[in-house]
Chain A
Amino acid sequence: MENNTKRYWKGLEELRNDASFIKSSEKEFNAPAEGDVSYEHLSDGTGSHRRDFLKVLGFGMAAVSLASCEAPVRKAVSYVNKPVDEYPTIANWYASTFAEGGDYASILVKTREGRPIKIESNKLSGASKGVSARAHASLLNLYDIEKLKGPQKGDAAADWETIDKEISEKLSSIAAAGGDIRIVSSTILGPSTKAVIAEFIAKYPTTTHVVYDTNSTAALVEANSRSFGKAVLPTYAFDKAKVVVSIDADFLGTWVAPETFSGQFAETRKVSSAEGGKREMSRHYQFESILSLTGSNADYRTAVKPSQSGLVVTALYNKLAAKLGGTAVSTPALDVPNLDKAANDLIAAKGAALVVSGINDPAVQVVVNAINSLLGSYGVTINLDSPSNLRQGNDVAFNQFVNDVKGGKVKAVLFYKANPVYDHPRGAELAAALPKVDLSVSFGDRADETGSLVKYIAPAPHYLESWDDAEPQAGYFSLGQPTINLIYNTRQAQTSLLKWAGSAVSDYHDYIKQYWRSNIYPKSGQTDFAQFWIKCLHDGVLELGGAPATAGATFAGDVAAAGQAVAKRYKASQSGIELAIYEKIGVGNGALANNPWLQELPEPVSKACWDNYAGVSQKTATDLGLQQGDVVKIEANGKEIELPVLVQPGQANDTVSVAIGYGREKAGKAANGVGKNVYPFIPVVDGFISFNGGVVTVAKTGGFRQIAQTQTHNTVMARKSILQETILGEYQKDVKAGRFFPKIHTSEGPVDPTDISLWNGHEYKNHSWGMVVDLNLCFGCGSCVVSCNAENNIPVVGRQEVINSREMHWMRIDRYYSSDAEVGNYSAMEIASENPEVTFQPMMCQHCNNAPCETVCPVLATTHSSEGLNQMAYNRCVGTRYCANNCPYKVRRFNWFKYFDNENFDYHFNNELGKMVINPDVTVRSRGVIEKCSMCVHRIQEGKLRAKKERRRVTDEDVNVACASSCPTDAIVFGDMNNPESKISKLLAVEEKARAYHVLSEINVRPQVSYLTKIRNKERQAAPKA
């Protein structure tokens, strides 16, 4: 075809090719001629084009469709003026004081951007050691959205002026008329608060301060008064005792100051395999009805019924008196195991022995005093001259108070940190009588069981919003300072009392400062109050030291009379099922029950959470035809509760145990309706509340309620590579006693599993983070579990999900009972002994060097760090759960649901206030990903950065993981195994060839976590246990 050179024109303009044509030739459409209808005035003058139209249309469509997708609005408000000392992402630490009832801990509070997010123990404190699970968890109560937002009059909101005016007027008129006024509280540790109360009493002289404790030791105080003329609660030195005998005192779990006692007791349980190291341990006997945490850790434990417990004390006394020269008391013969042995050991350890009892009966306590006196414990293991203030309750006085209210004698009552309607056996009577009282005020944070019956609620803020001080032990002071502004319109009870008393100083901060200036500062011997105050505030504690222990105290009690009283009240054998009431470590007396962390913390021994239950031994269960979960009705004195049965090995036969602290009705959504309230069953004997519930009837109702337990299999199935334990005698002969060395058979003969590997291993050039867990020092208290929850934003999943075995705890404490079965008889090995030996094994990610999880993840979401950590990249995880399946330790947790902003998981991830507890350094995991212990990698990072800024190497001081830092016994040691100066390196250097072992060493996954063998101070190896 020829080239066509013809040209065609659209018009003459193109042919002419004039300037106006060229100008407009690029345009698709010609501009309308002058004078035509123009829309130019609507545009910017350039004219609108088809493409512009399409662009606008496209943008519009995109914008509309984008706008229709709801994008969550996240508010991030920057500081307009940066607060002094507040650096975003840098935590500030404040020393403060946790004091709830008799629970005390000197604490450090970590705040981030003005929010308290973590509680740690204050190492400067001598009066308390460690932080209990409850103290850790108390942080969450700060962010409880159900708290009252301001004062209330009746059911209606009021303002402070109104209620101040009305209450002051009423108080004045009542006082003027000579009407009785009562301030009812639990134990108050604060000297300033007591001064405030004194000032209040001065203004209204008809006022009496009534103190009660739910877990009372009033009988012990009474006994000391009878025995020594000193009505005090002594301090104990478990660290100085070579033999400890405890009769129903759960001193490692719930009795008086368990963290401190744990720390002391651990000192006597610590051994070292070093040349010439300490290879002595105390010996611990426990006589008790329930299997308590303390009993679980005892070398010898005897189950006795509550009705026998008093006789254990008298029998023990008689045995000691026979050898040490005392007058025997008449007592029914009691034949229980280990009593003779305990007596002999006590005698051998005379001068370094300790006998304690948790029985709230003055007669029993007098005999205990007599025993300790015979053993020369006073001045050594018991100090009456530096008394403890942790229990100041006076049962008799409170009993009288209830009578007075009922009798209409009391005209005004103020409840401070007290909820007796719920937590006193006579709560129902009080509830009935309270409306008759002219003026009733509660300082509670909500209309709880008592608060809902009072006329005014003057809500006091959480302790982390408050000023306070404490004197837990004579001469040991501590300060509590607010770590956050008041969240709601609340006011400290002390301020309210000062206001109503018309005090000159109505600001409690000023008041405390003044009190310290005039009362404590002079004793300190310092010269500058401002300096003194700043130092005290910084340290949190001021320890002037207690009076030195006396050489002893002369027992002046009437042991014969006490013996008679005991013989009368207790019986060597009694038919019927007895009710043993106890307190659980997590929920405690129920004051902090509205706390999801505590509710989900498994009870260390039963591993049950979100419930209380009727614990019975296997034999009793069989006798009564009960299975675990069967609902029984417990009846006594016309009161009844229905609870599911939990079969508890080790519990005394023919007893049923029920924990207090449950069955709250007006505590808030986490606690309401959880469990049943057993307080009404507590007998008040001679004015003293007694946890011996007496004989009850237990009847099967036919109902069933599954108990949520985090561990449902109880025995270790004779798996020696999991638990390695021995007895002291063997250990003294051979530091490797109890160790298990698996071998793998090859053609060249048996070799160590570590000698065969497919992998090349990892090289850690800089750090190698690791952990050592001393099974001998872990008593299983669970403080680490809550500490880990708080540190790592671990979701609470609730009762049903725990039943579904989906709790999210990164750190758990496995509890194993021994079994009497022959090894190999597997079905029998599943059944625990009647009185089992118990072992606690903290279990978290082992950070394996040959990690089974790492090889199987298809997307490399879990990888190995260059510092020995097994890391989890949540963002990369697609959720196949292969890693969790392949984890031999089963420490990986899957986010089965979205646990935040989900109405089905209404704990604290569900509202703006609750979320303030979230640690901003740790990702909140989304649905569908795996999570697990990171060895607090964010803390490691922080510590490394600190060291780097200071141009030095990281030391133990820079980094500690949340679990290790919370352990009252230092059972968990964390550190850099590449640093020869670190504590862990030194410990491993000693124990590597002795007690240290890796769990499941035969599969050669080479964990970074080692365990040290458990050693029991028993006479000889018991029969092979499964």
Chain B
Amino acid sequence: MQVTSPVRTPLVQGGKTYADITEDICRHVEAKPTKEWKMAFGLSLLVLAYGTYCLAWTWWEGLGVWGLNKTVGWAWDITNFVWWVGIGHAGTLISAILLLFRQKWRTSINRAAEAMTIFAVICAASFILMHMGRPWLAYWALPLPNAFGSLWVNFNSPLVWDVFAISTYFSVSLVFWYIGLIPDLATIRDRATNKVSRFFYGAFSLGWSGSAKTWARYEYISLILAGLSTPLVLSVHTIVSMDFATSVIPGWHTTIFPPYFVAGAIFSGFAMVQNLMLITRVVYKLEDYITIEHIETMNKIITLTGSIVGIAYITEFFIAWYGGVEYESYAFLNRMGGPYWWAYWAMMTCNVISPQLFWSRKLRRSVTWTFFISVIVNIGMWFERFVIIVTSLHRDYLPSSWTMFSPTMYDIGDYIFSFGLFFTLFLLFSKYLPVVNMAEVKAVLRSSSERLPEKVGGVAKPRATVVED
């Protein structure tokens, strides 16, 4: 373990002891659901119910209830899919890449971020099923041995790559998340006062004993999974971007897409983490664990990835002009000034301009601004996918086929479904599982000998003479 300078601001504030941490986190799991939680959960279920109705109707009647047409074959469905997958990037990035980089501040947020990842990927997967004309045959996209003769999947198709990428990502993320949960589940098990809790938390903690050997194995497996997940963080959205990049459609057929999409995914994922954590932090009174420092660090990453995305947008334009391809240059001019200009400018404003506000230290340390801009970023990233998908398709090669797309209530309702699903899952998680990784947070807690003179409360002011590690 690296030596941390005593002058650095501690990651956990409020002079918490190990017992405090256990108490602070477990309290929410063990207590009866609060009124606020019940209301929020009820609302989520209501949203989910409405979404389920819309989804059921979509499947009963056919995709014609959406606003798609002969020219625009994907719109909200794949926009939502890419959006959710993008959001699902932050969790693994935080838990895997930041683990490898020994970024200790991640410990307070990785649990919730990973949970968010898993739920976001579930939402994304629901759109894979939803967008299919015959979703009951979705398993045909898997290379299963079958009785149809020599029928196999098409390994040339980016959609098949998607199937592999996303299922791998989902399973690795789930395992990683679950492994991290085991010590905490054991803690809850040990504290449990009723049989039901003891049974379930006991079963899921897999007989965790807390011995040194177990801990060592825990560390190893975490590191191995982090190593496995790291390439996945980059590969999943790379592959998603290839759905577009390998096509022939002007505006899709672009080699810049993989890095551009990955940056965008982290961008939106961090924004979503911010949104969720800011709420959890207040509701669960976790200000000492998720500090302004955390928020500020994440805002810096948002600004960085937002700037990468902005450069990507500009590069695309440059290449569209420099490449000299008539169709491509038109596609980009059409984005900017065509019938969907508003979507393009919404995207530019939200994604390129808004994160630049975080150059101001005051704004990036402001909870309100952070929350606000994170929402804006997620709106912007949704528009980015909409712009890429719809404005490229609606005016592609043959002007005879140019059309417009406008959503119906089922496009919207099916999107609402994914929100209902996401928040229902997230609320269940926040109630029944520890939202902060207690074991790992304890590991970054300073021992009493390292504590700052100002023992209780307050942020240590960095001193002028810094002795670095």
Q: Which residues of A contact B400 (CB under 8 A)?
A: 711, 713, 812, 814-816, 841, 843
Q: Is there a chain B Cβ closer than 8 Å to A87's Cβ?
A: no
| A580 at the binding interface (Cβ < 8 Å) | no
Interface: A838 (CB within 8 A): no
Tell me if B62 and A927 are in contact (CB < 8 A). yes
List of B residues within 8 angstroms of A999 by Cβ: 398
In the assembled complex, the Cα of A877 lies from the Cα of B70 at a distance in Å of: 17
**Is the pair B134, A852 in contact by a Cβ cutoff of 8 Å?**
no
Assess whether B68 is interfacial by the CB under 8 Å rule.
Answer: yes
Are A890's CB and B396's CB within 8 A?
A: yes
CB of A685 within 8 Å of the partner chain: no
**A827 located at the interface, meaning its Cβ lies under 8 Å from any Cβ of chain B in the complex:** yes
Q: Which of B147-155, B173-181, B429-437, B460-468 is the contact stretch?
A: B147-155
Given A852-B248, A893-B70, residue A826 in contact with residue B330 (CB < 8 A): yes
Bound Cα distance A999, B398 (Å): 10
The verdict on B372 contacting chain A, using a C-beta distance below 8 Å, is: no
Contact for A858 among B68, B151, B159, CB less than 8 A: B159
Which residue of chain A is the closest to B139 with respect to CB atoms? A878
Residue of A nearest to B389 (CB): A885
Q: A806 touching B70 by the CB < 8 A rule?
A: yes
Q: How far is the CA of A928 from the CA of B133 in the complex (A)?
A: 4
Q: Which residues of chain A are within 8 angstroms of B402 by Cβ–Cβ distance?
A: 712-713
Asked whether, in the complex, the Cβ of B247 is within 8 Å of the Cβ of A856, the reply is yes
Interface membership of chain B positions 229-254, coded 1 if the CB is closer than 8 angstroms to chain A and 0 otherwise: 00000000000000100111100000
A986 at the interface (CB under 8 A from B): no
Judged by a CB distance under 8 angstroms, whether A898 is at the interface is yes
Q: Is B160 an interface residue (CB 8 A)?
A: yes
Chain B residues contacting A745 (CB-CB under 8 Å) are: 324
B62 x A880 contact (CB < 8 A): no
A911 at the interface (CB under 8 A from B): no
When chains A and B are docked, how far (Å) is the Cα of A815 from the Cα of B398?
A: 11
Q: How far is the CA of A719 from the CA of B159 in the complex (A)?
A: 31
A879 touches B132 (CB 8 A): yes
Question: Any chain B CB within 8 A of the CB of A717?
Answer: yes
Docked-complex contact A857 and B154, CB < 8 angstroms? yes
A91 within 8 A of B: no
A886 and B399 within 8 A (CB): no
Partner of A886, one of B71, B151, B247: B247
Is B194 positioned at the interface, with any CB of A under 8 Å from its CB?
Answer: no
- Tell me the minimal C-beta distance from A923 to chain B in angstroms: 15
CA distance A878 to B163 in the complex (A): 14
Q: How far apart are the CA atoms of A881 and B134 in the complex, in Å?
A: 11
Q: Does B133 lie within 8 Å of A852, measured CB to CB?
A: no
Chain B proximity of A188: nearest CB distance (Å): 41
Contact A896 B403 (CB under 8 A): no
Measured CB to CB, the nearest residue on chain A to B159 is: A858
Residues of B within 8 A of A716 (CB): 399
Contact B133 A880 (CB under 8 A): yes
Residues of A within 8 A of B291 (CB): none
Complex Cα spacing A857 to B69, Å: 19
Which A residues lie within 8 Å of B74 (CB)?
Answer: 881-882, 885
List chain B residues, Cβ under 8 A from A878. 132-135, 137-138, 140-141
| Residues of the A chain whose Cβ atoms lie less than 8 Å from the Cβ of B337 | 826-827
Does A486 sit at the interface, judged by CB under 8 A? no
Chain A CB within 8 A of B393 CB: yes
When each residue 694-724 of chain A gets 1 if its CB lies under 8 Å from chain B and 0 otherwise, what string results?
Answer: 0000000000000000011111110100100
- CB contacts (< 8 Å) of A1000 on chain B: these are 397-398
Q: Is the CB of B401 within 8 A of A886?
A: no
Q: How far is the CB of A905 from chain B (nearest CB, A)?
A: 10
For residue A886, which residue of chain B has the nearest CB? Answer: B247
Does A884 count as interface, using CB distance less than 8 angstroms?
yes
Task: Say yes or no for B326: interface residue by CB 8 A criterion.
Answer: yes
Q: Which of A856, A885, A926, A1000 has the most CB of B within 10 A?
A: A885
A1006 to chain B, nearest CB (A): 13
**B98-141, CB under 8 A of A: which get 1 and which 0?**
00000000000000000000000000000000011111011011
Contacting pair A804 B133 (CB below 8 A): no
Contact with A along B255-290 (1 / 0, CB 8 A): 000000000000000000000000000000000000
Tell me, yes or no, whether A443 is within 8 Å of chain B by CB.
no
**Contact mask B318-357 → A, CB, 8 Å, 1/0?**
0000001111001001100100000000000000000000
CB distance from B407 to the nearest CB of A (A): 12
Q: Does B36 contact A (CB under 8 A)?
A: no
Residues of chain B from 40 to 79 with CB closer than 8 A to chain A in the complex: 61-64, 67-71, 73-74
- A889 beta carbon closer than 8 Å to chain B: yes
- Name the B residues within 8 Å of A858 (CB-CB): 140-141, 153-154, 157, 159-160, 163
Asked whether B141 lies within 8 Å of A859 as measured between CB atoms, the reply is yes
Asked if B158 lies at the interface with its beta carbon under 8 angstroms from chain A, I say: yes
Asked if residues B62 and A896 are in contact (CB atoms below 8 Å), the reply is yes
List the A side residues contacting B163 at CB < 8 Å.
Answer: 858
* A465 adjacent to chain B (CB < 8 Å): no
On chain B, the residues within 8 Å of A804 by CB distance are 64, 67, 69
B contact residues around A877 at 8 Å (CB)? 133-134
Give A852 to B156 CA distance when docked, in angstroms: 11
A816 to B399, CA, bound (A): 9
Q: How far is the CA of A324 from the CA of B76 in the complex (A)?
A: 69
Residue of B nearest to A713 (CB): B402
Say yes or no: A879-B399 contact (C-beta < 8 A), given A858-B153, A885-B247, A886-B247.
no
CA distance A719 to B134 in the complex (A): 36
Q: Most chain-B CB neighbours within 10 Å: which of A713, A805, A876, A1002?
A: A805
Given A876-B151, A928-B63, does the pair A856, B159 have CB atoms closer than 8 Å?
A: yes
Query: 8 Å CB contacts to B: which residues of A883-930?
Result: 884-886, 888-890, 892-898, 926-930
Residues of A555-577 contacting chain B, CB below 8 A = none
Asked whether B157 lies within 8 Å of A806 as measured between CB atoms, the reply is no
Give the distance to chain A from B399, nearest Cβ to Cβ, in Å.
5
In the complex, chain B residues whose CB is within 8 Å of the CB of A550: none
User: A713, B141: Cβ atoms under 8 Å?
Assistant: no
Q: If the complex has contacts A815-B400, A880-B132, are A1003 and B248 also in contact, measured as CB distance less than 8 A?
A: yes
- When distances are taken between beta carbons in the complex, the residues of chain B under 8 Å from A856 are 154, 156-159, 246-247
Q: Is the beta-carbon distance between B133 and A859 smaller than 8 angstroms?
A: no
Closest chain-A Cβ to B266's Cβ sits at a distance in Å of 26
Given A858-B157, A888-B398, does the pair A928, B141 have CB atoms closer than 8 Å?
Answer: no
Measured in the bound complex, the distance between the Cα atoms of B132 and A843 in whole Å is 27
Does A158 count as interface, using CB distance less than 8 angstroms?
A: no
Taking a contact as CB atoms closer than 8 A, the residue among A713, A806, A859, A1005 that contacts B248 in the complex is A1005
Nearest residue (CB) in A for B408 is: A804
* B131: chain A residues within 8 A (beta carbon): 880-881
- A520 interfacial contact with B, CB 8 Å: no
Residue A860 at the chain B interface, CB threshold 8 Å = yes
A109–B35 Cα distance when bound, in Å, is 76
Whether the pair B398, A889 counts as a contact (CB closer than 8 A) is: yes
Q: Does A855 contact B (CB under 8 A)?
A: yes
Bound: A749/B140 CA distance, A? 45
A144 within 8 A of B: no
- Quick one: which of B249, B333, B398 contacts A814, CB cutoff 8 A? B398
CB distance from A520 to the nearest CB of B (A): 49
Q: Report, nearest first, the 6 A-B pairs whose CB atoms are least far apart.
A: A879-B133, A928-B133, A896-B64, A805-B69, A814-B400, A881-B73
17 A-B contacts (beta carbon < 8 Å): A804-B64, A812-B400, A826-B333, A855-B157, A858-B140, A878-B134, A878-B135, A879-B132, A880-B132, A885-B249, A886-B249, A892-B70, A893-B70, A895-B62, A926-B134, A927-B133, A928-B62
Q: 19 more A-B contacts (CB under 8 A) besides A814-B398, A894-B73, A897-B62?
A: A711-B401, A713-B401, A715-B399, A722-B397, A804-B69, A814-B401, A826-B334, A843-B398, A859-B153, A879-B134, A881-B133, A884-B73, A888-B248, A889-B401, A890-B396, A890-B398, A892-B70, A928-B63, A929-B133
